[in-house]
Amino acid sequence: MRIVYPTAVTAALLALLSSAVRGGPVSVETLTTLVDKSDLLAVCEVTKIDDGKTEKSEKWNALITTKRATLHVYRGIQPADGTAANFDEITVEYPALKAGEPEMTNRPRFPMLHEGDVSLLPLKKTDDGWRFISEQDFAMVMPAAQRMIAVHPETPRDYLLVELASALLNGDYQTMGRAGKYLSDVGVEAPPAAVEGAPAKAVSPIGETVFSIVGKGIGASAMRADTRWIQMGTAVYNSAGAERPVIAELVANDEAVAPPFAFARLAFRKAGSGLDRQVIRLTVAHQDDPGEAWNAATTIAINYLGNADLISYERSALADARPGTIAVADMLIKDANHPLAPGASKAARDMLDTHGNPLAKGPDAETTRHAIALLARVGTDEDFDFFLEQIARAKTRESPQYQDYLLAAQGEKLRAKRALAVARLYIDDTTPLKGAADKTWRVCDVAATLVGAVAEDDFGVKPGAIPEVKEAGVERARKYLKAKEPPATRAAE
């Protein structure tokens, strides 16, 4: 059986590598360029980050803040002569978009450092102190672990490979995932030119080479089903983007694949029996880690939809109403007939009822949006009554989630009765819709589109329509809602 990748993958990769971004062409680092451009390759922990001055950048047409990171140096080498780094602490300045800057086309990919991160940083010495070798991070910052495995590198390039292997073997699950992503991101090296009269030297495939180094680090148990292999294989596979080979086909074949999959294939082959069950267990166990929900949902969608073990593990996770689990459920469960739908709607309802803080920001707010979408899509009639109650509460509290309920309803193509019930709660709200490209697009306009989907008449309410047309259309939607009101409501009037 042959592993086939869609042609779109190749096209997208070529587009990424050849496209120009604002400020210059993309330059993806390779292991060789990291060595050639660096005065110091240092494994550091970020102990402190301070904000410096913020200035308008003509190059990026944005406000750029100069950040200053204080770094504790665990180890490192100076590539010029291979000598060990002799530093305990250094600082490095680097650019970052000012917090709150709006999204921009061709957003610069500046280094993203966080306190507590351990990474290998390629640095150069300047008159102003240590700086990164490049302004943008295209495979420049490499994940690392505090401890280096006991494998002696012979060259600076080998040193990078050993550090990457150390991140996989000695790092936690998130560090393993970062290492897997780095295997995806790092540039492909061309074979070095041969000296006249001498055979050409091939560059060793990085995925297989790192696997070999990890095996040396594990030692004698590398020949057995060491549990670390399944952890590394799963973390690397799950981090490797949207286009992935099916695990069963990957393991069964020896066809050339991208570096992260080459590593994952070899690691999976050492995982022992019950590979699928082990991958599912680890994927579900870590889907609540920061940034892992999308990775987990992608792995499940490609490999395990309908798998009995998956249903069992996810059902247990949903009972705890974990944020990552709710996000994965929202991505995977398409209708109320799914075996996980009852547990998902209950988890979503419990999360909104217990943790739906109207002032929540960041991940909590994002999880709230996933829960809202789940309730709208797969909730029972009782759940939907709760959904409507939450809208009323959110409006009373002026919660930022108030409009999210409406957008979820719009995106889920609700049954007619439900769509009209939601529309009634918003049809008189002339507040501008947050984040809308059309700055004249209002909450009541979205409500009118809900009514229009039921009536099979858009009433002329469309983004970009002139205000008078939209206002007339909203009024027609109000009249339609009036005509469709439940008899009990009309009698009460």
Give the best-scoring range by mean pLDDT among 114-123, 223-232, 384-393: 114-123
Query: What's 36-55 look like in SS3?
Result: HHCCEEEEEEEEEEEEEEEE
Q: Please say whether the beta carbons of 112 and 178 come within 8 A.
A: no
Residue among 379, 180, 182 nearest 268 (CA): 180
DSSP letter for each residue of 182-249: HHHHSPPPPPPPPPTTS---PPPPHHHHHHHHHHHHHGGGGGS--HHHHHHHHHHHHTS-S----HHH
Return the pLDDT at 246: 97
Return the pLDDT at 322: 86
Return the pLDDT at 1: 41
* Res. 492: pLDDT tops 80: no
Q: What is the distance of C-alpha 368 from the center of its chain? A: 17
Mean pLDDT of the chain: 87
Return the pLDDT at 394: 87
pLDDT tens across 242-299, in order? 899 999 999 999 999 999 999 999 999 998 889 999 999 999 999 999 889 999 999 9
With cut-offs at 50, 70 and 90, classify the pLDDT of residue 321. Answer: confident
* Res. 450: pLDDT tops 90: yes
Return the pLDDT at 114: 95
Return the pLDDT at 436: 85
Q: What is the distance of C-alpha 33 from the center of its chain? A: 27
Return the pLDDT at 360: 47
Return the pLDDT at 107: 78
CA atoms within 13 A on the CB side of 384: 19
Return the pLDDT at 490: 47
Count, in order, helices (H) and strands (E) of the chain: 20, 9
Residue whose structure tokens are 């410096």: 52
**Cα-Cα end-to-end distance for the chain:** 69
* Res. 386: pLDDT tops 80: yes
Return the pLDDT at 226: 83
Return the pLDDT at 105: 62
Tell me the torsion sign for CA atoms 217, 215, 259, 168. negative
The pTM of the full predicted model, rounded to 2 decimals, is 0.84
Please give the Cα distance from 363 to 371 (Å, whole number): 12
pLDDT tens across 27-82, in order? 899 999 999 999 999 999 999 999 999 999 888 888 999 999 999 999 999 999 98
* Res. 10: pLDDT tops 90: no
With cut-offs at 50, 70 and 90, classify the pLDDT of residue 20. Answer: very low
